[in-house]
């Protein structure tokens, strides 16, 4: 007797639903994409209990006649693909014809649709028992999905809590609103409006609706193109960051995608401008000929393949890097008055009768950027005689900061300086680190001159670590760390690059070896950055190191001429400022 049997359609649809519909967000995604493909310019998403109890999507698209409405719930029934050639030139968001039958098989469906000539009302229960009748003629489609996964209790059990489900839906709808600023999106959960755009085509206004005024003011428009791709959108100032990559929205021909390789290029463009555990806010539209991409590689269609990825990466990196180089990125001090603090501050005067004490005025100074604390250095402080700042560094011909005059140092760490525009506070270690980083990075790009060690450095490794280093001896040799095998699981390094001081040579060599070992998938660019930043940190003055007035003058003059004088290699700020107006406002000289 044959063991192989053809599954019935209901079972096949439930299996397909496992690929397409894993959570309530997937239902919203499929229905919204159908509305967009139908030419809608107004889409309303209404949820009850984060969509677990009910999801309703209403649009004003072209609608369907009765025949199309009934066929829409058949597997692989679609209006978007007619032959094999269409698969290589997909311009619609949906195309497989799996979503509606998959959703219907694990829920109860109500569909009301009209093409303006014929109205249809249709109900389905678990993908069967279809009931069809006439409906009104209002053009568009409204589809309601009730009791999701009611007939698959195991899948219902593994849904996240309602807040997580709602967060996923909100994130997706936000990204669709950014993708289609010309469409009015309304998202409602339990009668509470979560998003309401006006659909006037202004992308910056959509960013405002999603992220708020503070972030919108710190977004920069970017655009560029080459022979294969055209990109446009907005990128945030480095001071506006998030703790995860969800703030990076990439859109290809209007489709929201998640491509790790592309996200890495965007984050790398901010390299040394932001801390390594922070991520920028980006909305990037990519327009490309559909024949150059393949979107049919994942059931959710959230990832795609680019046939000319290298040219896209180069374009994105060039556009973002060039834009960052044009900006003055000194974080500015802002002030918050009593009204802004009243919600979080309980003043002492409230403990007394109102007539006994005159109500004081409060102001608080805050930085308008978030940044992680500096990594603590493991090296001991050095005395004044040991402080050595290399002053033989070539500087840019066009400084990005105006000349500053040092006026003193506080806490043996922060230089206070001024010019006609305001007062500046400079972190002496971060500033020296930036200067030395650019010096080392420039040296890495030039011909390396190896200097022999008086006593070669012998490094014993674990067997797995030795194999990694052995595979990358050419990298060490290329940068002047002339290394070779020296017995079992041991290497010996006989020289180091000319720009490393002899007294720190062994420590630097061991750090470079550790960098190579830690990177399982060796990345050449990341290696160069980590080596340069590690060397720069060790070569730089530290907090509590004494700097003479001449050292301060040189440090400020050299910093302002760096390619990026605003952050250290780890993305921490080197300099912040109070404008003259800020100071006058703090001291009540300006009452605007």
Cα–Cα distance for residue pair 429/413, rounded to 1 Å: 7
The secondary element (H helix, E strand) that includes residue 119 is: strand 119-125
Residue-level pLDDT at 152: 77
Cα–Cα distance for residue pair 147/306, rounded to 1 Å: 38
Q: Identify the CA nearest to 545 among candidates 448, 431, 437.
A: 431
Residue-level pLDDT at 298: 54
Token representation of residue 568: 């250290």
Please name the residue that has the structure tokens 């033989």: 392
40 located within any domain: yes
Domain total of the chain: 4
Taking residue 446's Cβ as centre, other Cβ atoms within 10 Å add up to 9
**DSSP 8-state class, residue 461:** -
Which CATH number do you get for residue 292? 3.30.230.10
Are both 431 and 338 inside the same structural domain? no
Are both 539 and 431 inside the same structural domain? yes
The number of angstroms, rounded, from the C-alpha of 251 to the middle of its chain's C-alpha atoms is: 13
Residue-level pLDDT at 361: 41
Which CATH number do you get for residue 539? 3.30.1540.20
Are both 166 and 225 inside the same structural domain? no
Q: How many CA atoms lie within 13 A of 9 on its CB side?
A: 10
Are both 142 and 226 inside the same structural domain? no
Cα–Cα distance for residue pair 172/23, rounded to 1 Å: 12
C-beta separation of 165 from 50 below 8 A: yes
4 located within any domain: no
Are both 550 and 449 inside the same structural domain? yes
Which of 172, 196, 220 is the C-terminal boundary of a domain?
A: 196
Q: Identify the CA nearest to 109 among candidates 161, 81, 151, 137.
A: 151
Are both 253 and 224 inside the same structural domain? yes
Which CATH number do you get for residue 144? 3.30.565.10
Are both 49 and 104 inside the same structural domain? yes
Are both 354 and 433 inside the same structural domain? no
Q: Mean pLDDT of residues grouped by 10 in the chain (592 residues)?
A: 51 48 86 89 93 92 86 64 44 59 86 88 82 84 89 72 86 90 93 91 90 86 91 90 85 84 88 82 89 64 76 91 79 51 34 36 38 33 38 56 90 90 90 88 76 88 82 83 88 85 78 74 64 78 87 90 87 87 80 61
Q: Identify the CA nearest to 271 among candidates 219, 317, 326.
A: 317
Please name the residue that has the structure tokens 């050419």: 474
381 located within any domain: no
572 located within any domain: yes
**β-bridge pairing 483-485 and 575-579:** unpaired
Phi then psi for residue 277, to 5 deg, are: -100, 15
C-beta separation of 464 from 447 below 8 A: no
Confidence (pTM): 0.62
**DSSP 8-state class, residue 71:** H
Helical segments of 446-504, H only = 463-471, 473-478
Segments forming the whole domain that contains residue 482: 328-332+368-375+391-592
Are both 301 and 400 inside the same structural domain? no
Are both 16 and 162 inside the same structural domain? yes
Cα–Cα distance for residue pair 198/196, rounded to 1 Å: 7
Cα–Cα distance for residue pair 532/441, rounded to 1 Å: 6
Cα–Cα distance for residue pair 37/582, rounded to 1 Å: 51
- Give me the sign of the Cα torsion angle 517, 521, 522, 526: negative
Which of 145, 166, 196 is the C-terminal boundary of a domain?
A: 196
Cα–Cα distance for residue pair 217/388, rounded to 1 Å: 41
Are both 417 and 551 inside the same structural domain? yes
The number of angstroms, rounded, from the C-alpha of 360 to the middle of its chain's C-alpha atoms is: 42
Residue-level pLDDT at 583: 82
149 located within any domain: yes
382 located within any domain: no
66 located within any domain: yes
Residue-level pLDDT at 392: 46
Which of 318, 341, 357 is the C-terminal boundary of a domain?
A: 318
Q: How many CA atoms lie within 13 A of 3 on its CB side?
A: 0
Are both 569 and 434 inside the same structural domain? yes
386 located within any domain: no
């Amino acid at each position: 007797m044959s063991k192989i049997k053809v599954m019935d359609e209901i079972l096949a649809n439930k299996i397909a639903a496992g690929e397409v519909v894993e959570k309530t967000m997937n239902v919203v995604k499929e229905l919204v994409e159908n509305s967009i493909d139908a030419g809608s310019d107004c889409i309303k998403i209404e949820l009850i209990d984060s969509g677990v109890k009910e999801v309703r999507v209403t649009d004003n698209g072209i609608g369907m006649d009765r025949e199309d409405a009934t066929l829409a719930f058949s597997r692989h029934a679609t209006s978007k693909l007619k032959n094999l050639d269409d698969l290589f030139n997909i311009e619609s968001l949906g195309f497989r014809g799996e979503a509606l039958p998959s959703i219907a098989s694990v829920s109860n469906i109500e569909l009301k649709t009209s093409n303006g000539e014929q109205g249809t009302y249709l109900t389905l229960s678990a993908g069967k028992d279809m009931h069809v009748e006439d409906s009104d003629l209002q053009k568009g489609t409204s589809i309601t999905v009730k009791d999701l996964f009611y007939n698959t209790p195991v899948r219902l059990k593994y849904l996240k809590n309602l807040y997580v489900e709602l967060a996923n839906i909100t994130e997706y709808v936000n990204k669709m609103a950014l993708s289609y600023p010309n469409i009015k999106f309304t998202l409602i959960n339990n009668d509470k409006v979560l998003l309401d755009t006006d659909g006037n085509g202004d992308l910056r206004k959509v960013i405002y609706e999603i992220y708020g005024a503070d972030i919108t003011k710190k977004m920069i428009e970017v655009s560029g193109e080459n022979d294969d791709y055209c990109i446009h959108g907005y990128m945030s100032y480095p001071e506006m960051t998030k703790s995860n990559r969800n703030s990076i929205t990439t859109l290809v021909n209007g489709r929201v995608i998640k491509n790790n390789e592309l996200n890495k290029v965007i984050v790398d463009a901010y390299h040394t401008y932001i801390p390594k555990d922070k991520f920028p806010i980006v909305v990037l539209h990519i327009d490309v000929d559909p024949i150059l991409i393949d979107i049919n590689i994942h059931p959710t269609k959230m990832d795609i393949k680019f046939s000319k990825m290298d040219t896209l990466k180069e374009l994105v990196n060039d556009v973002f890097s060039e834009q960052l180089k044009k900006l003055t990125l000194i974080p500015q001090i802002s002030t918050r008055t009593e009204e802004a603090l009243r919600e979080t501050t309980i003043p002492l005067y409230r403990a007394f009768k109102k007539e006994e004490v005159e109500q004081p005025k409060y102001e608080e100074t805050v930085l308008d950027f978030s940044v992680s604390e500096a990594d603590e250095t493991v090296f001991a402080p050095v005395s004044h005689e040991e402080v050595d700042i290399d002053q033989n560094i070539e500087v840019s011909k066009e400084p990005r900061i105006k000349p500053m005059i040092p006026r003193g140092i506080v806490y043996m760490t922060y230089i206070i300086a001024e010019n006609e525009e305001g007062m500046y506070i400079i972190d002496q270690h971060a500033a020296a680190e930036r200067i030395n980083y650019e010096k080392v990075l420039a040296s890495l790009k030039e011909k390396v001159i190896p200097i022999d060690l008086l006593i070669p450095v012998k490094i014993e490794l674990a067997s797995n670590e030795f194999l990694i280093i052995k595979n990358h001896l050419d990298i060490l040799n290329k940068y002047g760390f002339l290394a070779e095998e020296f017995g079992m699981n041991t290497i010996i390094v006989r020289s180091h690059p000319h720009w490393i001081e002899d007294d720190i040579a062994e420590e630097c060599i061991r750090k470079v070896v550790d960098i190579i070992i830690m990177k399982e998938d060796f990345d050449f660019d990341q290696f160069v950055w980590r080596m340069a930043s590690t060397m720069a940190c060790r070569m730089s003055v530290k907090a509590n190191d004494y700097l003479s007035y001449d050292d301060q003058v040189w440090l400020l003059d050299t910093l302002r001429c760096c390619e990026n004088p605003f952050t250290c290699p780890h993305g921490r700020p080197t300099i912040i400022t109070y404008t003259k107006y800020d100071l006058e406002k703090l001291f009540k000289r300006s009452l605007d």
